[in-house]
Amino acid sequence: MNTVIQTKGLTKVFKRVEKEDGLKGTLKALFKRVIVEKTALDHFDFQVEQGELLGLIGPNGAGKTTLVKLLCGIIQPSAGEAQVLGFTPGKLKDGFRRSYAVVMGQKSQLWWDLPASDTFLLNKEIYGIPDDIYKQNIAYFSDIFGVRDLLSVPVRNLSLGERMKMELMAALLHNPKILFLDEPTIGLDAIAQKQIRLFLKEVNETKGVTIMLTSHYMEDIKHLCKRTVVINGGKKVYDGNLDALLSSFQEHRIITVSFECECQPQLDLPVEWLEKSPLKSVLMVRRELVKPVIQSLLTHYEVNDIRIEEEDIGGVIERIYTAGKEGIPL
Amino acid sequence: MRKYLEVGKISVKSQITYRFDVLIGCFMPFIRVFLAYFLWRTLFTDKTEMGGMTFPMMLTYYIVCAFIQRLEQSNGLVWEFAGEIREGRFTKYLVKPVSPLGHFVFTSLGKTLYHLVFTVLAVGCVILIFKGQFVGPASAGSLILALLIAFLGLLVMILLNYLTALLAFKFTDITGWHLLNGNVVDFLSGALLPLSLLPDWMQGVMRYFPFYYMQFLPASLYLGLRTQEAFFGLLVMVIWIIVLWGLAEFLYHRFRRLYEEVGA
Amino acid sequence: MKGISILRRYLGIFIRLFKFRLSNQMIYRASFWTVFIVDVSMFLIQLAVFSTLFLNVDTINGWNKYQMIFFVGTFNIIDSINMSLFFFGITSIPYKIREGKLDIYLTRPVNTLFWLSLENIDVSSTIVIIPGVIMVSYATAKLGITLTFGKVAGYLLLLILMLLLFYSLMLIIRTLSFWFIKTDALNDLEGEMIGFSFRVPGIVFTGVSKLVLYVLLPYALLATLPTQYFTTSFSLGHWALALGVTSAFVLISQWLWRLGLKNYTSASS
């Protein structure tokens, strides 16, 4: 396997001016200001192999975006080093910038008033894409996305989902080796999210593009990434398989029971009742108590149907983050 | 009224965050006066008087103008305000019980107050440098009239800048309008050249416009010139303030409806 | 061969950006016309200041009316090229730094400054070059200057040098936005210097002021040197001044830009 990204002790410290309240504090700031340092990324070590589809998750302000920006060379590290495809990103060599692409959900590269095809043409010049490859890629991507008819519509008239598809197209026209994605599905509806997920999977598998993805939506990561890095407070708190992580933090199961006739179920076991209506009950129990609870329900009541589900993913993630912050090994 | 005073106070405080900007701003009177000094020194080589002014008076004219000009601080606000409109952050004025015009005026005045301290210091230094040539005010009365008219001129300028900012409702980019406003005002207010050098008929027309009273007349009054024009000037300025105020309110209410329809 | 292919790629990007701007300006015709009106008003005001001065004096430090016309015409040519090529690109840099909008530019395999500077080409501003050329030609005829190849070539070379100097001066001020949140006062200061050197030739300065405005803040050189070359005598010292100051400021601006990029924090808006 080929390592495409490698960081050693990568650190980024931001400086911020802090000001006291009130007029007195304001006047003081005129002559002397307090500079506060915030470590956004703290001795971060990791590596990515070629062809991986890696997920990066963490709460707001954890350092995900900082890491992506450092790897793209947009900002410079305060300490430590990064190697991407054998280049040092901060030097911004043309050869380096030709070999990756980045899509940031918040920052568009499309020209607002012009059709997306115009931005594609500009990118063709910028990246020096040969005619045949350009045509081939335009055809290929617009087919997968089904956006052939939208290429000549001004970007401002496109929906959010369509715009994101165009962003991804613009990023991939020059066949980059690595694609960095920062919150690509933010604000999109479920259908568009799903389409984009399928597309990323396809690009990763057929074109062999290494993809590094940050997202708030666990669904993105769950569906796409075999390997996940959890980052919190600028530090790496977990690196490995997401399912394994989730199951070790899945402490509860949700049980939904419906009854043949109206009843008031009672249990001597420690359970949390989420819903109690005459014909249906929903309860949450610790994983190891699922068996006794079901046995008890079946023996005491006329059960019509039972459904056992995993706990809501949001709660699990919250626990992972808290554990990470407290330094508990995951 | 209390809430607008609070707006002014916040404006003063936020200025302090930009100490580099304030420091550089202090150089402005120096630059203006020095550049004028070199130009007029050359022009006065074989003349003793131009437009009714001697060389020391001319220099003083530019010092007074630089002082007045430095107190006009609504210029930078135009960008901020237009940006708020363009990026949809303008909604904050729609949901809060403040009028955007009041907010604009008092933010400007807050800035003016803050810059007053530094401008007095900077202009004081300029006067010290040109001690030999600087002419004091002709009389206490003319000084007070000059200050009063200059203050009205400041209000007109704030209103004009507010109107420029409002154009952002209609045009995506108001850079051009803003530059136009700045260029024209610089010339018509007498900041570039004393208007007394212009032909009489031009001066006659200019007397009905507010620009004449922004820098040229206050500086002339200070020097004891054109005192007979002061009261007419006050009248003209008050009328212009009322007209511009009305226009600002009218346009705001018209444009606001546009904004709401777009639903930005 | 590699040089040519790079040149061709940049030319391609330039043409593409130019086309974008053209269609953008057709969409926003109102702003197209306002910029046009601004340029014309600038020109008219300059003309008004200039005629007012000559209503009251006959020469400015030895320069007669026609030399002044040549000077003003030269400035209009310089400014028109500046406004149409890079003015709007450079003046948008502070905003892009503050709002973290530089990211996209930094990740592309193109010289970031090239793209930033030429992104907002303004077609309407090219029109002001016409009165500039007319003034220069009129003054040349009135001054009875015979045109030689050397005169024209030297003048054009000086125009290019002064444009480079103008570009670097503008860039340096915008680059400071990497360190300071607000640079309004610097912009005012710049406007003041440009406005003044737009109207008054550098020859009025002597002594320390000449050192300041020719070397430290060399705004006074911009239209003065080409005019001096064309209408009066021009020594080797003048050439040294033009070349020295221009290359120094080009180097400073590039160095500051690189230093600034290291400081870029890419604020998320």
The answer to whether the CB atoms of C16 and A109 lie below 8 A apart is no
| Candidate from A75, A92, A121 with C-beta closest to C266 | A75
Please compute the mean of the pLDDT values over residues A149-166 and round it to a whole number. 91
Query: What's the pLDDT at B263?
Result: 42
Would the pLDDT of A58 be above 50?
A: yes
| Candidate from C12, C261, C268 with C-beta closest to A125 | C12
Query: What's the pLDDT at A170?
Result: 94
> How would residue B30 be classed by pLDDT, with cut points 50, 70 and 90?
confident
Would the pLDDT of A330 be above 60?
A: no
Please compute the mean of the pLDDT values over residues A111-134 and round it to a whole number. 91
Instruction: Give pLDDT tens digits for A170-213.
Output: 999 999 999 999 888 888 888 888 889 999 999 999 989 999 99
Q: Does the beta carbon of B262 lie under 8 angstroms from any beta carbon of chain A?
A: no
Please count the other Cβ atoms lying within 10 Å of the Cβ belonging to residue C184.
18
Local structure of A181: helix, strand or coil: strand
| Candidate from A65, A118, A126 with C-beta closest to C109 | A126
Please compute the mean of the pLDDT values over residues B71-92 and round it to a whole number. 80
Query: What's the pLDDT at A322?
Result: 75
User: Can you say whether the dihedral through the CA atoms of A312, A314, A317, A322 is positive or negative?
Assistant: negative
H or E segment and range at residue A258: strand A252-259
Q: Which residue range is the domain that position B121 belongs to?
A: 2-262
**How many domains in chain B?**
1
Please compute the mean of the pLDDT values over residues A156-177 and round it to a whole number. 92
What residues in A contact B13, CB-CB < 8 Å?
23, 26
Q: Which domains does chain A have, with CATH numbers?
A: 3-99+176-247 (3.40.50.300), 252-310 (3.30.70)
Mean pLDDT over each residue of chain A, to the nearest integer = 86
Kindly provide the ipTM of the predicted complex, given to two decimals. Answer: 0.81
What residues in B contact C196, CB-CB < 8 Å?
35
The answer to whether the CB atoms of C45 and B193 lie below 8 A apart is no
The answer to whether the CB atoms of B17 and A27 lie below 8 A apart is no
How many whole angstroms separate alpha carbon A166 and alpha carbon A154?
11
- Position with higher pLDDT, A117 vs B3: A117
Instruction: Give pLDDT tens digits for B134-177.
Output: 998 989 999 999 999 999 999 999 999 999 888 888 776 777 77
Contact, B192 vs C49, CB < 8 A?
yes
Q: Where are the domains of chain C?
A: 2-262
> How would residue C112 be classed by pLDDT, with cut points 50, 70 and 90?
very high
Query: What's the pLDDT at B264?
Result: 39
What residues in C contact A98, CB-CB < 8 Å?
109
Burial of C167 (C-beta count, 10 Å sphere; 0-12/13-18/19+): buried
Query: What's the pLDDT at B39?
Result: 87
Query: What's the pLDDT at B260?
Result: 57
Would the pLDDT of B262 be above 70?
A: no
Strands A178-182 and A210-214: parallel
Query: What's the pLDDT at C224?
Result: 94
- Which residues of A touch chain C, with CB atoms under 8 Å apart? 14, 65, 69, 72-76, 92, 94-98, 100-102, 104, 106-109, 111, 113-114, 118, 121-122, 125-128
Query: What's the pLDDT at A19?
Result: 65
Contact, B47 vs B197, CB < 8 A?
no
How many whole angstroms separate alpha carbon B156 and alpha carbon B153?
5
Strands A210-214 and A227-232: unpaired
Structure tokens at C247: 């290359």
Most confident of B77-81, B178-182, B230-234: B230-234
Please compute the mean of the pLDDT values over residues A155-164 and round it to a whole number. 90
What is the per-residue DSSP string for B189-244?
Answer: TTSSS-GGGS-HHHHHHHTTSGGGGTTHHHHHHHTT-SGGGHHHHHHHHHHHHHHH
Q: Does the beta carbon of C45 lie under 8 angstroms from any beta carbon of chain B?
A: yes
Query: What's the pLDDT at B18?
Result: 74
Query: What's the pLDDT at A80?
Result: 94
How many whole angstroms separate alpha carbon B56 and alpha carbon B148?
24
Which residue of chain A has the CA closest to B18? A30
Q: Max CA-CA distance within chain A?
A: 78
Sheet holding A303-310, edge to edge: A272-277, A280-286, A252-259, A303-310
Query: What's the pLDDT at C154?
Result: 95
Would the pLDDT of A249 be above 80?
A: no
How many whole angstroms separate alpha carbon C251 and alpha carbon C253?
6
Counting one residue from chain A and one from chain B, the pairs whose CB atoms sit within 8 A come to 11
Query: What's the pLDDT at A328?
Result: 58
Contact, A250 vs A229, CB < 8 A?
no
Mutate to test the interface with A, among B12, B13, B113 (most CBs of A within 10 A): B13
Please compute the mean of the pLDDT values over residues A80-103 and round it to a whole number. 93
Mutate to test the interface with A, among C6, C18, C107 (most CBs of A within 10 A): C107
Q: Does the beta carbon of C2 lie under 8 angstroms from any beta carbon of chain A?
A: no
